[in-house]
Structure formats: structure tokens, C-alpha cells
Structure 1
Amino acid sequence: MSWAIIFQRKKAISDALSNAKKFEQKFWSGIDLSKLYSEISSRSGQSKGIEALFTAGFKEFARHKKNTFQSAGIVMEGTHRSMRVALSREVEKLESSLSFLATVGSISPYIGLFGTVWGIMNAFIALGEVKQATLQMVAPGIAEALIATAMGLFAAIPAVIAYNRFANKVEKLETHYINFMEEFANILHRQAATQIEAQANVSA
């Protein structure tokens, strides 16, 4: 089960990183943000990853922008809050099942050791019931008992390596998302300030 989760998490995190790079290339290509939002919204299925941050922020920004009496600070406060909620959800998805890998990595060796102790104990109990003990009688039971330790390590070692690797990648992705969120917020803030200034000039 831990091996299945390792491959599943590897694909999910790799896809998230690849989608983030593709989206940012399009985002910084100079495309109109309204057009980009319409493209993402028209797709079937819910946006995910960095696209989810963009859609959440732009949707909230557009909603606040309709109210001409709001200042740029109020508009950006709501936009930022919406993007932070989206960020929390996306990071939670990326971290899914990582706690299970951590548990497997810490507990499996002890379960394997328990199986080994139990097997060796049974082997010696059986040995005590015979008059003449030989290595040939004990060896198969002890070998079977040691398999439990090997199985525990076979589950634990990859789980620990995968957990550390994935946790590091998720942390980097989260930082990447936060950086994009701040850069996107700056762009929206400039747009909001320009619009409010233009409305003030018209009113004057």
C-alpha cells in the first residue's frame, strides 16, 4: 500500500510542478487576464494547482471591482483572502497521504521486529520439546522469523525516503505558489489603483 501511495504522490506532485510551469509561461506571455480567466473557466472540471489560485484571486477581484466605491486596499484585502484559502486547499491536496508514509516509515520496523521475536520465540519453544536439538531443526523457523524484519524494512525504508523527498518538493511548490500569489496581487493592485484614479478624474 505504501508503494502504491509513493507512485501516486510522485505523479501528483510532478503534475503540479509541470502545470505550474506551463501556466506561468502563459501568464507572463502578456495575455489579457480576463481572457486567461475565461479560458480556464470554460474547461470541464475544477481548476487545480496554481490555476486555482489565479481563478480564485481574479474572480474575487472582478467581484469587488464592480463596486466603484471600494478603495484599492479593500479590493486587495478580499482578493488576497480568497487566494490564501485556495492556497491552503491546494497545499492540503499535495500533502495528502504523506502522513501515512511517515507512519509506515516509523512503525514498520517495529512491527517487523515484533514478528521476528515472536517467530524466534516459537522456534525455541519447539526446540525445548525435543530431546536432541540440532541447527537443522532451528534454522528454518529462525529464517522465517527474520523475513518479518526484512518485510518491515522493505516497507519502511522507501516510505521514509519518499516522505522526505515529497515533503521537500511540496514545500518548494508552496513557496512557488506564494511567490506567484504575491506577484499576481501586485498586478491586480496596480489595476485597481488605476481604475479608481480614473473614476476619480471622471467624477472631478
Structure 2
Amino acid sequence: MNPAAPPAADLSVAGLILNADPVVQGVMALLLLASFACWAIIIEKSLLLGRLAREAQGLAALAAAGAVVPPEGDAARDSLSAAVLRAGLPEWREGRDTAESAGEFRDRLERSMRAAVTATLRRAEPGLPLLATIGSVSPFVGLFGTVWGIMHSFFGIAARQDTGLATVAPGIAEALFATAIGLVAAIPAVIAYNRFATRLARIRQEAIGAVSALASRLARRPAIAGAARRSAEAPA
């Protein structure tokens, strides 16, 4: 009577995870957590950069129209256009001193509004370093799981004194599965980081161009003598 055949190894995804070595399971869990974090950042940044792109276009439209009134509404008060105008209008209302050239007045306006653009766009930067880290580190974490899984397979071979496929295959499969999860986490992170960094740079370029145009329009206001301004601001 032939001896019963050994049970076939479970090579399904669930089986590879549940039957893996605890170290490899920890690597898989870490990579899956990194993948979830990556997609959460991708969704959040896609929405945020889409809104900032529309606000940069609105700022360019305001600059082209020469408008100097901040947008109305609760949402608009937190927009890029509102932040830029809140930074530039106090300087514009103060006016240009006779000792200040039109170019210097324009540069002063532009500097204040550029600072507002920088502060607003800085809100889109958190999360991007994490994407870069996930994209660069995940393959190496997966490789560590692969090496450990292969070592585990060799330990099994030595313990059973058997080099058959049934002995080697499960350990090799779980090792390669760890590599696959590392790539699943890394590839979207690298693509998203490059895309978001490029898109943010374009939004910044468009906003800075609109700020320059708006500063040029505002600087055409006639000069106000410093003595006259100080006397007007003095209490009666």
C-alpha cells in the first residue's frame, strides 16, 4: 500500500501570508501599511492640487482684470487669490513714498504677495516626502523579506533533508510575494511623487506669474508723499 501523499502547499495569496515566517509576515504587514498610506496621500494630494490649480487660474484671471477686491464667501476667503490680495493690499493702500521709485514699489508689492503664495502652496508639501520615502525604501524592505524567506526555505531543506519542490516552493513563493508587495507599494509612490512635484511647480509658476502681473498693475498708483501720509495718519 502506497503511503499517503503529503498535503499540497497552499500557494494562494491568503495562504502565502498566513503560512509565511513571522519575520516575512511583519515585512508584508509593513509594506501593506505603506501602500495604504501611499494611496491615502495620492487621493488627498490629487484633490488639493486640483483645487490649488483652479485657484492659481483664478488669481491669473484677477491679475488680467486688474481686480483688487478679495473674493467673497467662506471658501474664497481661504483661497490663494484671497491670501495674495490680503498680503498685497495693505502695501498698496499705504502707497508709494516720493523717495521710492515705481520699480521699488512694485518689488515691495511683489515680495509681499510672493510670500503669501509660498505660504499657501506650502500646505501641499506635507506627505510628499513620505511618498518619496515609500518609493525608495519599499523595494529594499521587500528584498529583505525575500532574503529572509529564502533563508527560511534553506533551513527547511536542512531540517527535512529533502530538496523536493514541495519543500522548497512555499518558502520561495512567500519570499517572492514579499518582493511583489514591495513593488506594489513603491511604483505608485514614485509615479505620484514625480507627478505631484511637477504639478506643484507648475502651479507655483502660474501663481508667481500672476503675482508679477498684479504687482505691475498695482504699482501704477500715483506716489503719495511720505510727509503727507504721516500727517494724514497723525491723530487730530
TM-score after normalising by structure 2: 0.71
2:113 maps to 1:83: yes
Structure 2 unaligned blocks of 5 or more: 1-36, 229-236
Report the Cα distance in structure 2 between the residues aligned to 1:50 and 1:107, rounded to whole angstroms. Answer: 38
Find the structure with the greater CA-based Rg.
Answer: 2
Report the Cα distance in structure 1 between the residues aligned to 2:66 and 2:108, rounded to whole angstroms. Answer: 25
Verify the 8 A CA contact 1:112 1:148 in the aligned structure 2: yes
Structure 1 unaligned blocks of 5 or more: none
Q: CA deviation at 1:44?
A: 6.5
Report the Cα distance in structure 2 between the residues aligned to 1:5 and 1:52, rounded to whole angstroms. Answer: 25
Verify the 8 A CA contact 2:146 2:175 in the aligned structure 1: yes
Verify the 8 A CA contact 2:57 2:206 in the aligned structure 1: no
2:122 maps to 1:122: no
Report the Cα distance in structure 2 between the residues aligned to 1:75 and 1:160, rounded to whole angstroms. Answer: 43
Which residue, 25, 30, 33 being the options, matches 2:61? 25
Verify the 8 A CA contact 1:56 1:82 in the aligned structure 2: yes
RMSD across aligned positions (CA) = 2.7
2:124 maps to 1:94: yes
The residue number in structure 1 matching 2:74 is 43
Q: Structure 1's 101 and 142: CA in aligned 2 closer, same or farther, altered over 3 A?
A: same
3-state SS in 1 of match to 2:126: coil
2:220 maps to 1:184: no
Report the Cα distance in structure 2 between the residues aligned to 1:94 and 1:50, rounded to whole angstroms. Answer: 16
2:191 maps to 1:138: no
3-state SS in 2 of match to 1:133: coil
**Aligned partner of 2:203: which letter?**
L
Larger relative contact order (Cα-Cα within 8 Å, sequence gap ≥ 6): 2
Report the Cα distance in structure 2 between the residues aligned to 1:50 and 1:161, rounded to whole angstroms. Answer: 30
3-state SS in 1 of match to 2:160: coil
Q: Structure 1's 44 and 139: CA in aligned 2 closer, same or farther, altered over 3 A?
A: closer
The residue number in structure 1 matching 2:88 is 57
Q: Structure 1's 77 and 20: CA in aligned 2 closer, same or farther, altered over 3 A?
A: closer
The residue number in structure 2 matching 1:108 is 138
**Aligned partner of 1:142: which letter?**
I
Cα deviations by residue, 1:152-193 (Å, 9 ceiling, x for unpaired):
1001101111111111111111110110111011011101xx
Identity of aligned residues (%): 37
Report the Cα distance in structure 2 between the residues aligned to 1:155 and 1:129, rounded to whole angstroms. Answer: 34
Which residue, 186, 204, 217 being the options, matches 1:174? 204
Aligned length: 190
Verify the 8 A CA contact 1:72 1:189 in the aligned structure 2: no
